[in-house]
Structure 1
Amino acid sequence: MRARPLSQKVLSRTVCAVLGTVAFACAAQTTSLQTPWGTTVNEPLLPAATAVCAVVKATQTPVNGLLPASLDSDPAKSAPDTASMQGKINQCASGEAVHLVQGDAGQSGFLIGPITLKSGVTLWIDKGVTVFGSRNPADYDNGVGLCGIANTDATASCNALISASKVTGAGIVGEGVIDGRGGAVLTSGQNAGVKTWWDVAYQTKTANVTQHNPRLLDVEGGSNFTLYGVTFQNSPNMHVVLDKLDGVTAWGIKILSPSAAYTQGAYACPKNTTPDQVSGTYATCFTPDTVKNTDGFDPGESSHIVLAYSYISDGDDHVAVKAGSGTGSQHLLFAHDHLYYGHGLSVGSETNTGVSDVTVQDLVVDGHDSPNGVGIRIKSDASHGGVVNGVTYQGVCMQNVRQPLVFDSYYSSSKGKKYPWFRNVTINGLHDLGSVAYGGGQAVFAAYAKEPLQIALSNVQFDGAQPTTYMKGHNGSPSVLPANTVFTFGPGPVSFAQDLTQQHGTGVSFDGSITASPAPVDCSHAFVKFSSVQANAPI
């Protein structure tokens, strides 16, 4: 069995579970997690039959994970199921659920434009059911008139497919799928018939422009929000964005972009089919490295957040904990999660208002040797930096990751006087099995002299080649890295400690001692294929 230092399952017998104001089905036993802030979070349960206020039957028939283009080629018919789904949500009372199920003839799809969740009401998407988003930018446009294009205007212009504002006790549960159709060709506006959502997004890599694409789920304000078992995939932009919430449980969710419907096996796209290679027309095949800004799970200015037993593979940050305005983010637990393609379990880059009490337990990262792959990361810069205090990683397994460790106060070249300060960062038990393409990868430690990085390392072991730590500076940092870092080693070994002590830049100091010799974190059963938990994953 794999070592799980502080994250073993705790089983508690229950009669029924209640999340917020929503009554959930009774069960003999549920899995629970003890949080670092002293509470117990139970695995959610599906709603009881008596809590279902409306059953909505699917009307569309997907083929190989896609809706036929003829179904919504007419922009006037782009979202036929929006009104019925929104109407059922609106009519439900607090504590009730809307259940989306297959149609009488086996239909398994819904096609909607933006909908809004309601306090106390749960959207339950049944196994085998997919909610597809419209590919008509006009359905999402918030009145600015820019949705579906990329230009130099940074004004937010698209509503999310699913949104909520100041809700209490709401959520989305079930084993169904929410699909943003990021690889679908747009049907209105200046990019109609010539670009997909992801082609629009890729323009930000080739020109100094902003993409105007919708998010999949955007919740702002409220408390006791639940995500359970649902798959979020193929978002045109970020998948799950949670701002200014107190109390979120996301358990057993999957986030995937792109799915098998928009690529080929193992993302082996033919030449001249991806957004970085096509010219004058839309791409027909996508990889995680070409679906830009598709963050997985982004909590910002939020507290008491749990992401557990979940799987994420995307084209940007797996997780991005942000604190750009308001009261900051604190009390976050990430436990038993698996990450694949993506830019890491990240804190930042906006840390203005502070991030504290972040715990990562039993994390598995397989970066598939992506050139953009990151493992764990804290990032910010002088334009929107702040204090990040108390981030702990325990029981981490990694392989095939280009940058396993990144702690970077010079994340961008933006200037200002809001200097980042990363304090009390601890890695206690990390085992990296190496990478065919990148060996031990890169470990980045870069901070300001007045705000030095404080990091403690114990039982941090890399097999074979060790990570490169001695490197050139970037974005105005000291010319040689590591720089301005206080390292504390021990009691467990650090396999690259000697490299750090022998070669480093200015402002680096060392403390602690190696007094114990525990075995490396057991990763023998850690790595699983994404397709083993989500059949339409190409990896």
Structure 2
Amino acid sequence: MRTQGSHALLSPKSLSHAIHVLIGSTAFVASFACAATQAPVQTSWGTTAAEPSLPAASAVCTTLTARRTPVNGSLDASDADPSKSAPDTEDLQSAIDHCAVTGGAVKLVAVANGPSGFLSGPLTLRSGVTLWLDKNVTLFASRNPKDFDNGLGLCGIANKTDKVSCYALLNGNHVDNAGIVGEGIIDGRGGSLLTGGANKGLRSWWDVAYQTKTSSVTQHNPRLLNINGGNHFTLSGVTLQNSPNFHVVLDGMDDVLAWNVKILSPSLAYTVQGNACPKGTTPDAKTPATCFTPDTVKNTDGFDPGESTHVVLAYSYISTGDDHVAVKAGSGKGSQHLLFSHDHLYAGHGMSIGSETNTGVSDMTVEDLTVDGHDGSNSVGIRIKSDVSRGGAVSDVVYRGVCMRNVRQPLVFDAFYSSTKTKKSYPSFTGIEVHDFHDLGSVAYGGGQATFEAYASYPLRIVLDNVQFDGTQPTTYLKGHNGGPGTLPANTVFTLGPGPVSFAKAMEQKHGNGVSFDGAVTQSPAPRDCTSAFVPMSSVLATAPL
């Protein structure tokens, strides 16, 4: 937990005792037990974040025992009747609403003989209440769109309307001192056939989403966790998987700690080992799919801390069909003070900023990052993306200590991410630094592609220091896109060194307009040691196909 004034986490020793979190002039007291097992991390804003402890037994106001028995990680055999699509919603919501213990927790536990689950529609989280999913417990989402519809009657279809029409499974507005913890799973069941609405028995949530790939429509699918506003929110130990849409959205919040979180789409319930789906089984926008890959579970972002400040994501594992992380700044006060530390990324579209950067992103640090893209056709490593319709200032972003392999686009800094005729504000990427970056190459794409593209009036300013690729070097001499400069790199001020940059000479020989090279290579360290960096996601999450 953190103290509100300084956003500092207490030491692991202090976490074993009662702690006090100040909310204005009112003391919020909670008891915790359990020693930290992973090293604390130091933030750029002067605080230390440590592994959260589970609530003490005295903090548990309600314990609910799961009643459903999953079969191969699925409840599809038990909820075909849409009138019985969310039998546990009332009990779960009542437990959350009536938790009167200060700093209390609602604990979900399994039956004694193995994995078990709850089946629910949308739930609303409350301030001061932690949802604790114990080991072997899965909170399954309903697959009946009617349960999630917010009154527009659109949830579960794809059409030309872009209005938000679905509640998330877990919702919250201005939630303070709350969280979701434990070793359990929250499963959105994105690949299960819908049991109600126009697509009843015809499409799953992910089939609906795939229609956006084949025609100009908007999907109406629910998110897994969506909170707007609040302070001091904790995610710890839990797995969030198979979301119909984004997995975690924490917008307009201050002081977020996400520690040892696993985010996955698709799980083995909807794919096969290695995501090696047989031909003809994946989505085609016409017939329901029976197997999914990361490339066919559209818009399943992992962790999106939109418009939030003092955010830590540490020791976490993410594999999705879209951005692993998407830091956005589309309204409000923007996003500042973010730390991503000791994280592992797999299939997906990268550790990303954007594409909405209107209100600014600043003071972001990424340290000890491992990316294994599994040669996905859309695999991305680290990326800053925006365009003139939603651009803004992105500044003081540091990547330090990165191991990467099997990624098609390892480095992307792109101010022309989308084609647009609307000109509101120009993207400006300055104070970007990449240190101790080591790419081991890709079987399918060699060194992949590195994109450096900005506007002449707002050049990209980037430091590259000890950035090394093994074997084939990344292609940097590219054609511009979406109305951008004709040849890349373009409109970029590179500061090289003091460590070497393995592809610098190629860029110096061939590049577009507005490119300059400052700095000097004065050191020759070995590439970052990635010997022990890569671990299978299945080693930390049994439901992972990778």
Assess same fold via TM > 0.5: yes
1:137 aligns with 2:138: no
Q: Counterpart of 2:17 in structure 1: which amino acid?
A: C
- CA drift of 1:17 comes to 6.5
1:358 counterpart letter in structure 2:
M
1:107 Cα deviation from its structure 2 partner = 5.9
**Once the two structures are superposed, what CA deviation does each residue of 1:408-465 show, in whole Å capped at 9, x if it has no partner?**
0000001313110000000011000000100000000000000000000000000000
1: CA distance, partners of 2:253 / 2:420: 29
Show CA shifts across 1:228-248 (max 9, x none).
000000000000001000010
- Asked if 1:13 corresponds to 2:13, the answer is yes
Whole-angstrom CA distance in 2 between matches of 1:408 and 1:432: 20
- Contact preservation (8 Å) 1:231, 1:255: yes
- Corresponding residue number in structure 2 for 1:504: 511
TM-superposition CA deviations, 1:495-519 (whole Å, max 9, x none):
0110111000000011000001111
**What is the 5 A alignment of 1:42-61?**
42-61=50-69
Q: In 2, Cα distance between the equivalents of 1:491 and 1:473?
A: 29
In structure 2, the partner of 1:379 is 385
* CA distances 1:305-338 after superposition (whole Å, capped 9, x unpaired): 0000000000000000000000000000000000
Alpha-carbon shift at residue 74 of structure 1 (Å): 1.2
Contact preservation (8 Å) 1:22, 1:96: no
Query: Shift of the alpha carbon at 1:106?
Result: 4.6
Runs (5+) with no aligned partner, structure 2: 1-9, 22-27
Which residue of 1 is the match for residue 6 of structure 2?
none
Aligned partners of 2:114 and 2:136 also within 8 Å: no
How much has 1:105 moved relative to structure 2?
5.7
The aligned counterpart of 1:441 is: 448
Aligned positions of 1:154-233 closer than 5 A: 154-233=162-241
Match runs of 1:381-400 below 5 Å: 381-400=387-406
CA–CA separation in structure 1 for the residues paired with 2:63 and 2:34: 22
Q: Is the 8 A contact 2:229 2:253 kept in 1?
A: yes
Give 1:325's aligned residue: 331
Alignment pair present for 1:76 and 2:83: yes
Aligned match for 1:349, one of 355, 358, 364: 355
- The SS at the match of 1:154 is coil
Structure 1 residue 103 and structure 2 residue 111: aligned? Answer: yes
Please give the alpha-carbon distance, in whole angstroms, between the structure 2 residues aligned to 1:345 and 1:113.
31
How far does the alpha carbon of each residue in 1:167-188 deviate from its partner, in whole angstroms, 9 at most, with x for none?
A: 1100000000000000000011
Deviations 1:142-196 (A, max 9, x none): 0011000000000100000001110110000000000000000001111000000
Structure 2: how far apart are the matches of 1:16 and 1:295? 36
**3-state SS, counterpart of residue 464 of structure 2:** strand
**Contact 2:115–2:136 under 8 Å retained in 1:** no
The one-letter code matched in structure 2 to 1:450 is S
**Which letter does structure 1 place at the counterpart of 2:255?**
G
Q: Which amino acid aligns with 1:263?
A: T
1:87 maps onto 2:94 in alignment: yes
SS of the equivalent of 2:356 reads coil
Check if 1:153 corresponds to 2:161: yes
Alpha-carbon distance in structure 2 between the residues aligned to 1:22 and 1:320: 33
How much identity, in percent, do the aligned residues show?
67
The answer to whether the 8 Å contact 2:372/2:407 transfers is yes
Question: How many residues matched?
Answer: 527
Give the 3-state SS of the residue equivalent to 1:522 in structure 2: coil
Secondary structure of 2:33's aligned partner: coil
Partner residue of 2:501?
A: 494
Sort the Cα spacing of 1:29 and 1:111 in 2 relative to 1 into closer, same or farther, 3 A: closer
Residue 536, structure 1, aligned to residue 537, structure 2: no
Q: Secondary structure at the match of 2:95?
A: helix
* Higher relative contact order (CA closer than 8 Å, sequence separation 6+): 1
Distance 2:252 2:263 in 1: 21
Please state how far the C-alpha of 1:28 moved relative to its aligned partner. 4.8
Q: 1:122 to 1:329 in 2, by over 3 A?
A: same
CA contact (8 A) 1:22 1:169 kept: no
- Cα distance in 1, alignment partners of residues 512 and 474 from structure 2: 16
Question: Does the CA-based 8 Å contact 2:76-2:192 persist in structure 1?
Answer: no
Q: Distance in 1 between matches of 2:304 and 2:12?
A: 29
Residue 36 of structure 1 corresponds to which residue in structure 2? 44
Q: Is residue 343 of structure 2 the alignment partner of residue 337 of structure 1?
A: yes
- Which residue does the alignment assign to 1:315? 321
1:370 aligns with 2:358: no
CA contact (8 A) 1:58 1:107 kept: no
Is the Cα–Cα contact under 8 Å of residues 298 and 322 in structure 1 kept in the other structure?
yes
Deviations 1:317-364 (A, max 9, x none): 000000000000000000000000000000000000000000000000
* C-alpha distance in structure 1 between counterparts of 2:33 and 2:476, whole Å: 52
Q: Give the distance between the partners of 2:287 and 2:424, measured in 1 at CA.
A: 43
Amino acid at match of 2:414: D
415-424 vs 78-87, greater mean Cα deviation: 415-424
Kept in 2: contact 1:485–1:508 (CA 8 A)? yes
Contact 2:12/2:51 (<8 A) preserved: no
Structure 2 CA distance, aligned partners of 1:19 and 1:504? 57
Q: Secondary structure at the match of 1:471?
A: coil
1:480, 1:281 → 2: CA distance? Answer: 41
After TM superposition, the structure 1 stretch with the greater mean CA deviation from structure 2, 107-116 or 251-260, is 107-116
Q: Could you tell me which runs of 5 or more consecutive residues in structure 1 were left unpaired when the two chains were aligned.
A: 1-9
Q: Once the two structures are superposed, what CA deviation does each residue of 1:230-282 show, in whole Å capped at 9, x if it has no partner? A: 00000000000010000100000000000001011111111111003xx6421
Structure 1 pair 311–105 and aligned structure 2 pair: CA distance change class (3 A): closer
Q: Distance in 1 between matches of 2:265 and 2:201?
A: 22
Q: CA deviation at 1:16?
A: 2.7
**Secondary structure of 1:349's match?**
coil
- 2:278 pairs with 1:265: no
Q: CA-to-partner distance for each residue in 1:282-311, whole Å, 9 max, x for gaps?
A: 100000000000000001111000000000
When normalised by structure 2's length, the TM-score is: 0.95
- Using the TM superposition, give the Cα deviation of residue 73 of structure 1 relative to its aligned residue in structure 2, in angstroms: 1.2
User: What SS does the corresponding residue of 2:83 show, helix, strand or coil?
Assistant: helix
Alignment root-mean-square deviation, CA: 1.3
Judged with a 3 Å threshold, the aligned counterparts in structure 2 of structure 1 residues 103 and 12 are, in CA distance, closer, same or farther, namely closer
- Residue 450 in 1 paired to residue 460 in 2? no
2:24 equivalent in structure 1: none
Q: Secondary structure at the match of 1:388?
A: strand
CA distance in 2, matches of 1:102, 1:35: 36
Q: Closer, same or farther in 2 for the Cα pair 1:263/1:17, shift >3 Å?
A: farther
Give the TM-score, by structure 1 length: 0.96
* 3-state secondary structure, aligned to 1:170: strand
Partner AA of 1:86 in structure 2: Q
CA deviation after TM superposition for structure 1 residue 12, in Å: 5.1
